[in-house]
Amino acid sequence: MARPYSYILQHKREAALSHFHLPFPTNMIKLGLLIRGTALLLCLLIFRAAHSLRLAIKQKWVPPFRLKVAGFASCQVGPSFPEWLRWQSDIDVLVLSNANLDDVIPDWFWVTFSRASFLQASGNKLHGSLPADLQHMSADHIYLGSNKFTGQVPRLPINISRLNLSSNSFSGLLPSELNAPLLGEFLLANNQLTGTIPSSICQLTRLNRLDLSGNHLTGDIIQCWKESDANSTNQFGFDMLSLSLNNNSLTGEFPKFLQRSSRLMFLDLSYNRLFGGLPEWLPEKMPHLKILRVRSNMFSGHIPKNLTSLDSLHYLDIAYNNISGSIAWSLSNLKAMMTVVSEDTEDYIFEESIPVNTKDQKRDYTFAIYKLLVILDLSSNSLTWHVPEEITLLIGLTNLNLSNNQLTGPIPNHIGDLRQLDSLDLSFNEFSGAIPSSLSALTYLSYLNLLYNNLSGAIPSGQQLQALDNQMYIYIGNPGLCGGPVGGNCSSHNAEQSGLGDMNDMPSLYIAMSIGFVVGLWTVFCTMLMKRTWRDAFFRFIDRTYDMVYVQVAIRWAHVMEKTQESAP
Ligand SMILES: *[C@@H]1O[C@H](CO)[C@@H](O)[C@H](O)[C@H]1NC(C)=O
Ligand SMILES: *[C@@H]1O[C@H](CO)[C@@H](O)[C@H](O)[C@H]1NC(C)=O
Ligand SMILES: *[C@@H]1O[C@H](CO)[C@@H](O)[C@H](O)[C@H]1NC(C)=O
């Protein structure tokens, strides 16, 4: 499903130009006034040409004008921090993103721009630390993400509404007093922050986007909850749209304040040490949830009954927990998974990217790419009983992983209806019966895993199945299977015999093959020397035989091991 990078770029650009991340304050009227009647240096919108545009200005130059707005996005301003800006204290909007800066931010910067409202210098190589206290700054937007800053996170500007310090190397504790009542967007992902999340965060009642993922935070996850203020509208979490606390070492139960977050679309709590149940109120209180990741925690209990009432949910990952019970919920309510997404599906773009585990690889997807994934990953839990046939109604699914549970019964017969599937992993369960022949209808499938189940009968033929990379290893651990890459004669097969029949045929086959080989060798040898095509065909035959023998041996071995384990009490 990977889309070309240019596609992502285009989306990012559109996003930057449209709603979520306006490079300027949302207050366009104000901006218009600023532009009129002031000198304006702007190479912001020359995206393509930008890379060749170099600003060569002498360090000692004192400009004869006073700017209100200075935009140098993607211009070669660096590597040193532009000294001439020192005298531009009237600047209200400063954009220095991706400007090739490789320097520390000089001390005068925080004085000169203490009254600016918009400071953007992300995507450079700025290093050193920030002043310990930025409370005196007037800025409402500060973007310093994707640099190389170190040191502690400063005390926040009092009127700040968006702060992005993600993807730097900030370390130490978060400021204990998070005094910024207007803060809506607080992004600190991918740093090296330690310690606990200060309880003063509960005072940030306007937060709509919080990202503390990819740090080393410990202690209790944010709860911010008193029964008494359950329905209050000006409490922490009420405006929350997106919450990422993943990849830390947080403990505790599922955050209670989320009961207030009725607008939440994105929730990622994965890779922490959270425990307890997934709350029954989750579906009811967060009806707009699109993405839910709680992967790799210690959640237990059942999947909340009404989870399937989340009709916007298209990404559900509860893998690597201790969830038990069955999947016997009414899956057909998951409307968003019953829809095939296309690239023009309406967008909700945020800038950060999160790793998605598909096909054993960690890849970084931006949200733009995210919306194209329809994922159901329930793997590595303790789920039991059958998979409802209804699952085949989720025709939008691109990835389905039920691996490593204790699921029984047949593979749903109409599995082939899931036409969008890119990967299907049913390995390490107790599925039995035949592999539905509809499986071969999955034309986008690039990964299939049926290892170690109790499947029997013929392996469906089909070009797609034969084209899979891991063809040889899909079926191991299912002693009753025959045909396809496993080989064996399906007509003489049945579940009881499970291959013992051809175990007896095997030696004679090998003997016949050897005799044929020895006799044939001398006859064929001379001809092969003469004729190239014959030579090629011969070696292809050898290869195939080797593969077949390998798989046979692996399967017998698994079978024997299983029998041994069964007979050992
Ligand atoms: C914050 O905003 C208030 C109200 O607009 C204003 O009076 C105050 O001066 C601002 N503080 C700073 C440090 O800019
Ligand atoms: C499915 O989940 C299992 C265990 O959780 C994991 O090992 C496997 O790589 C996953 N399969 C895919 C295709 O991602
Ligand atoms: C395997 O499947 C067969 C039916 O196909 C069933 O009789 C048998 O009990 C199953 N074995 C296990 C270990 O689940």
pTM for the complete prediction?
0.76
Looking at residues 44-69, what average pLDDT do you find? 62
pLDDT tops 80 at residue 79: yes
For ligand 2, whether the C-beta of 423 sits within 6 Å is yes
Measure Cα distances from 285 to 261, 263, 307, 334 in Å: 7, 9, 11, 16
Ligand 2 pocket test, candidate residues 318, 425, 429, 451, most atoms within 8 A of CB: 425
Residue 423's CB: how many other CB atoms inside 10 A? 20
- The pLDDT, as a whole number, for residue 63 is 75
Residue 456 has pLDDT above 60, yes or no: yes
Whether pLDDT at 339 is above 60: yes
Residues with CB under 6 A from ligand 3: 430, 432-433, 454, 456, 495
DSSP β-ladder status, 251-252 and 209-211:
unpaired
Asked if the model's pLDDT at residue 126 lies above 90, the reply is yes
Collapsing DSSP states into helix, strand and coil, what is residue 325? strand
How many A from CA of 387 to the centre of ligand 2?
Answer: 17
Helix ranges (DSSP H) in 18-61: 28-35, 47-50
The rounded distance, in Å, linking the Cα atoms of 178 and 257 is 18
Distance of CA 440 to the CA centre of its chain: 28
Ligand 3 atom with the shortest distance to the CA of 454: 1
Q: Rounded mean pLDDT of the chain?
A: 78
- pLDDT band of residue 506 (cuts 50, 70, 90) is very low
Q: What is the pLDDT of residue 150?
A: 96
Question: By CB neighbour count within 10 A (0-12 exposed, 13-18 middle, 19+ buried), where does 114 fall?
Answer: middle
List phi, psi (to 5°) of 317: -130, 105
Q: What's the rounded Cα separation, in Å, for the pair 190 and 397? A: 30
Question: 404 alpha carbon to ligand 2 midpoint, in Å?
Answer: 8
What pLDDT is stored for residue 502 in this prediction? 38
Summarised one tens digit per residue, pLDDT across range 272-328 is 999 999 999 999 999 999 999 999 999 999 998 889 899 899 999 999 999 999 886
**Given this model, what pLDDT does residue 551 score?**
56
What residues does 251 pair with on adjacent strands? 220, 273
Q: Looking at 6-147, which runs of residues are DSSP E strands?
A: 40-42, 69-71, 93-95, 118-120, 127-128, 141-143
CA–centroid distance, 537 to ligand 1, in Å, is: 82
Task: Find out whether 89 and 113 touch, Cβ atoms under 8 Å.
Answer: yes
**Of the ranges 99-113, 308-322, 465-479, which one carries the lowest mean pLDDT score?**
465-479
* Mean pLDDT calculated for residue range 377-392: 93
User: 432 forms bridges with which residues in the sheet?
Assistant: 454
> Which tokens go with 262?
């009725």
Give the position, in ligand 1's atom list, of the atom nearest the Cα of 157. 13
Confidence at residue 482, expressed as pLDDT on a 0 to 100 scale = 85
C-beta atoms surrounding 113 within 10 Å: 23
Q: Report which secondary-structure segment, H or E, holds 301.
A: strand 298-301
pLDDT of 465 reads 80
Ligand 2 pocket: which of 320, 383, 403, 423 to mutate (most atoms within 8 A of CB) = 403
The answer, yes or no, to whether residue 423 has pLDDT greater than 90, is: yes
For the segment 50-76, the average pLDDT, to the nearest whole number, is: 73
Greater model confidence, 140 or 470: 140
147-162 pLDDT, tens digit each: 999 999 999 999 999 9
**Of all residues in the chain, what percent are helix, strand and coil, respectively (each to 5)?**
30, 20, 50
Q: Lowest-confidence range among 81-85, 428-432, 503-507?
A: 503-507
Report the pLDDT value the prediction gives residue 492, as an integer from 0 to 100. 56
* 360 Cα: distance to centroid of ligand 2 (angstroms): 6
pLDDT of 77 higher than 50: yes
Q: Describe the crossing of helices 532-567 and 500-530 by its angle, rounded to 10 degrees.
A: 160
If you measure from the C-alpha of residue 382 to the centroid of ligand 2, how many angstroms do you get, rounded to a whole number? 15
The residues that bridge with 300 in the sheet, in sequence order, are 277, 322
| Ligand whose nearest atom lies closest to the CA of 432 | 3
Pocket test for ligand 1, best of 111, 134, 138, 142 (most atoms within 8 A of CB): 138
Average pLDDT over residues 531-541: 58
Judge contact between 215 and 248, C-beta under 8 A.
yes
The closest of 262, 264, 265, 267 to 278, measured between CA atoms, is 267
Paired strand residues for 22:
none
SS3 353: strand
Length of the chain: 569
More confident position, 132 or 52: 132
Output the pLDDT for position 364: 40
Taking the centre of ligand 3 as the mean of its atom positions, its distance from the CA of residue 477, in whole angstroms, is 13
What does the pLDDT average to over 237-250? 94
- Rounded distance from Cα 426 to ligand 2 centre (Å): 9
Q: Which pLDDT band holds residue 473 (cuts at 50, 70, 90)?
A: confident
d(CA 453, CA 433): 10
| Alpha-carbon gap, residue 94 to 143, rounded angstroms | 10
What are the structural domains, with CATH classification, of the chain?
286-488 (3.80.10.10)
Pocket test for ligand 2, best of 294, 296, 320, 360 (most atoms within 8 A of CB): 360
pLDDT higher at 41 or 100 = 100
Residue that wins the pLDDT comparison between 213 and 362? 213
Q: What is the pLDDT of residue 7?
A: 37
